[in-house]
Amino acid sequence: MKNKKKLFTMAATVFVISGGLLALNAVMVPSVVNQTVVAQKASLQQNISTVSSVSSTVPVMKIEATAPVSTVESYLEQTITDEEVQLINNYFDENKKETTELSRELTEEESNRLLKLGDQYVYDGLRPTSPLPLEPGPYDFYLDMDKDIFFYPKRPMTDQELLQHIDWYYRINYVLSKRVDPEQQEITDIKESEAVKFAAASVKKIFDVDVSKLEVSASLHTLYSEQQKTWSILFQPYKADTLRANGQAYLTYIVILDSTTGTVIDTTVTDLSYKRTPISSSASLKISKDASWVVAARQIVTKKLGETRAIKSAKYVKNPVNDKRGMVNILITLEDGSTYDAELRYPEKTLRCLLYNPAPSITP
């Protein structure tokens, strides 16, 4: 059961890339090894345009260079042997732990190098000179497969050791991806190209951002319920992990659409460098009496998104969890029963997420 849970978790964190390979985004590698790198605020060294979203400005990268191409899929197809496939499958099936133990945590410096090397592994073809050792021996860094423990050297890890780490997880993911049944596209589902087009249009409307120069990942899966299949579209700068490791701010856009109708049900922008301000009880009380929060949300829905249907009500919805996250939720209900849920950052009133829930269809 635990291994099934691990397999489900693995499947839930991957995006389908060209060629059908389910591959971990390089940003996920530190997560796999229980590492978190906090991106620091820094001025971008590349061109920056302004995103307007109701009295706010947010930096977004404009990538003008030729888009890099991932080299991972062809490399893994050519180098993974049948014996290695069996080894990884046995390791996964026989391992009773939900996560691999670590002899120590990676330092921030090691984590940042891991991010940069991950991008070089994916886009530049940088590979370790030798594979990761999978048993104890005369090594400073190895994985004890029997105990399922990564043993790290007490000294700083070398680039080669970090590349071995990255390569191992891409190999695991490649093998396990063959065990995950991909969501089958049906005749009634819109095509990936259409989903990307609708997603890009939503980001353009809401955030005034042209995502044509950003890297695109698309995944078709059942997300909210077994009855509703969705497309998830991710837009982010190429080599985003290198930016993250260098402390450079960048934005990522995630759009979720109904796979049958193409209706956008979630448009979210994330900024790893953003420092949230928790909402205190007194601040929450002030927000409940401040009509400008509701006005800001209404303007996003009507002026930015272009919603023309009559609005029945718009109100602040207090949520203790979102108070801790520094997010203000404004619920907008239309006359036909459809709703928008705008999540605004506190205290700036900038939009982080806009959710749409269409009114239930009435069957005659």
8, 146: one domain: yes
Q: What is the pLDDT of residues 225-283, one digit of tens each?
A: 556 789 999 999 999 999 999 999 999 999 999 999 999 999 999 998 999 999 999 99
In a domain, 261, yes or no: no
In a domain, 218, yes or no: no
Using only C-alpha atoms, what is the Rg of the chain? Answer: 22
Write down the pLDDT at residue 24. 34
CB 257 within 8 A of CB 195: yes
Write down the pLDDT at residue 181. 67
| Domain-ending residue, one of 159, 177, 195 | 177
Which tokens in the block code for residue 330? 């404004």
Question: Which residues lie below 8 Å from residue 15, measured CB to CB, with a gap of 6+?
Answer: 22, 23, 25, 217, 218, 219, 232, 234
Q: Provide the CATH number for the domain around residue 328.
A: 3.10.450
| Domain-ending residue, one of 128, 159, 177 | 177
Write down the pLDDT at residue 41. 20
Q: What is the DSSP string of 206-272?
A: HH----TTSEEEEEEEEEEETTEEEEEEEEE-TTHHHHHHTT----EEEEEEETTT--EEEEEEE-T
Which of 54-63, 182-191, 333-342 bottoms out in mean pLDDT, i.e. has the lowest? 54-63
Neighbour count for residue 109 (Cβ, 10 Å): 11
**Listed residue (122, 139, 126) closest to 150, CA to CA:** 139
Q: How many domains does the chain fold into? A: 2
Instruction: Report the length, in residues, of the chain.
Output: 364
Domain with 20 in it: 2-44+65-177
37, 170: one domain: yes
In a domain, 332, yes or no: yes
CB 245 within 8 A of CB 228: no
Burial of 29 from C-beta contacts in 10 A (0-12 / 13-18 / 19+): buried
287, 173: one domain: no
282, 135: one domain: no
Confidence of residue 50 (pLDDT cuts 50, 70, 90): very low
286, 160: one domain: no
26, 138: one domain: yes
Burial of 90 from C-beta contacts in 10 A (0-12 / 13-18 / 19+): exposed
In a domain, 203, yes or no: no
In a domain, 36, yes or no: yes
In a domain, 258, yes or no: no
14, 158: one domain: yes
In a domain, 19, yes or no: yes
**Mean per-residue pLDDT for 70-80?**
93
155, 296: one domain: no
Q: What is the pLDDT of residues 255-268, one digit of tens each?
A: 999 999 999 999 99
3-state DSSP percent of the chain in helix, strand and coil, to 5:
35, 25, 45
Write down the pLDDT at residue 21. 29
**Amino acid identity for residue 288 in this structure:** S
**Mean per-residue pLDDT for 207-223?**
89
| Domain-ending residue, one of 124, 158, 177 | 177
Write down the pLDDT at residue 36. 24
Q: What is the pLDDT of residues 126-181, one digit of tens each?
A: 999 999 999 999 999 999 999 999 999 999 999 999 999 999 999 999 999 888 76
pTM beyond 0.75, yes or no: yes
163, 282: one domain: no
171, 34: one domain: yes
In a domain, 124, yes or no: yes
2 pLDDT more than 80? no
Question: Which residues lie below 8 Å from residue 92, measured CB to CB, with a gap of 6+?
Answer: 3, 6, 7, 172, 176
